[in-house]
Structure 1
Amino acid sequence: MQSRAVMFCCGAAAGLVGAVGLCKTRPQLFQQQAVDDHHQDEDANNNLFMYGYPEPHISAHSYTDHSLTYDRSKKIPVWVAECINKDMVTSRLAKRARSEFQPDPKLPQEYCSSNTDYRGSGWSRGHMAPAGNYKHCQNSMDDTFLLTNIVPQNLDNNSGYWNSVEDYCRRLSKRYTQVSVISGPLFLPQRDTEGEKSFVKYEVIGENNVAVPTHLFKIILAEDRPDSPPLLGAFVVPNEPIKDVSLTQFQVSLEEVEKHTGTRFHCKLDRSQVSDLCAVDGCKINSQKDWAIMGYKKRVQAAASSQELEKVWGEVKDKGVHHDKPLSDLYSQKKAKFASSS
């Protein structure tokens, strides 16, 4: 393939902006784009812009391992781009407990959201570039806690379904050489009660009127060998609690996301050579039951005594997941180990 969307190295955030479809290699070039587009008008009427052309309300920013564009009016990102691999997500160097949510020092205060905007709002602080993708570097993880990377997100969605989608991306990075992920908020129209008109309605929170998106999108591009086609999947998920629903239920075309965001992504990608991610890989995400079983496996494995093991197993049976064979086998092995040592 002549041009690939992911033509940058993980960690080289400056190259990310160009790779995701803005056709630029430096964020500052994007920030200057409005001036560049209108320089002829400026020359034609110097009096009109003698004190400078108005700055766009969208600004571009690069960090240690991700890049984004930020809506200074809505106080949330437009999109956040990252490139992850196996080493990044399996390392244990960075600790989430060391990171703190804070305003982005790159932005003037009047364009920032604050932690107090979220406090008591009923909405959680939802990462677009998740902290769990950056276990290899504390600075990279810290960057994800800047509020330029955060949107107001339904708490159940954040810790549940969306977390499962993020986990799927990390699992992909263990099976593919490189995984590009672009995430962001959407504000989609809805019909009124009479079904005659459509409106875009959304809540704002805090003194800074931080916009609450109606939906979230995620674009995933997984690549392996240079001679194999990249796998592409685009998804739009409602910003609300979601039970165990297949990710394919939320799959849309890349063009659908582009239409709603007004942004062309992966502009150098030959889309005729791309394969459907879900058709090839399945797009299977963990269900609530899967997460429960994984949690109980860790607790069974960590049980330090027979009494502690039986307490955990009692919870397993109460949850109705004791029929899972790997979990049941692990319990039996642990029980036999305690019995042989007594």
Structure 2
Amino acid sequence: MRKTTWMAGLIILALVLSLTGCGGEKKVEAPKFPTKPISIIVPYGAGGGTDAIARAMAKSAEPIFGQPVTIINKVGANGAVGMTDGVNAAADGYTVTAAAIETVLHPIMGNVKWKVDDYKSILMTNSDPISIAVRADSPYKTLAELIAVAKQKPESLKLATLAPGAITHLAGLSFQEKTGAKFTIMPFPSGGAAAITDLLGGHADAACITAAEMSQHVKAGKIRLLAILDGNRMKGFPNVPTAKEQGYDMAFSVWRGMTVPAKTPDAVVKVLHDGFKKAMEDPNFIAFMEKGDFGIRYDTGANFHTFMNNETKLLTPLLKQAGLIKKQQ
């Protein structure tokens, strides 16, 4: 009888331990993620490059996450409004922000109270060189012709860029400095789509925007690219020379990625990373990027974060030179 009672006690003890764990506490499984829709804040207007890529990414990511992935355009202050909302969002992984180079530029200029480290990077997705372009019916057939008129008649030609401090604006300023030309720079804070619309409408003589954002208009015969501001020619436009080939050593690009608030749990960030990486490998997403001449550039969240901090170091002197850094109060 005693042996039977002893054996029964061991069995009960084993069952208790299996249910509670070796530490005597009940095991707590990590919450499943995601269990509801994910939102991606795009800090720019619809139709621009960041918006287009985010929408294509969301479409490819939905079946991977098993949840809807929606786009929210929060326009204002050249991306600062949407980016600030992204930083201040709940750190639960359900609000992702489409990061662009302004994620680095705004903190340098003192436009926002947050820093790059207030975000946690998920992954890098894209990088596109900036270009100089004119309408297809423009009298300027080459970069040299455009520069010559801008030298002879300073500020007579209008150059469309994004808002002051945006990378395309800095590229425009550098373009003037390198060439000795002088344009009337027209900034468009809402995004590249508005700048391109003004170029097509004849309100601007030239534009300093990524070639990818103008790709459909170039292929439709409405816009002519004069130069790629990069070290190499673009795959989609092999006949367009770089600025360096034409005597001006310049390299400016627009890059993009995905971020979440810094306090988002690493386990959640990993799920987001793995899902968006698979989305980047989706043939439909790749076809979209190739058709739009967008450059796919994957990197891990850690490397993307390091990249953004390095960009901060590189761009700070250029912004100081342009007088775009606010004095600390």
Bigger relative CO (Cα 8 Å, ≥ 6 apart)? 2
The structure with the larger Rg is 2
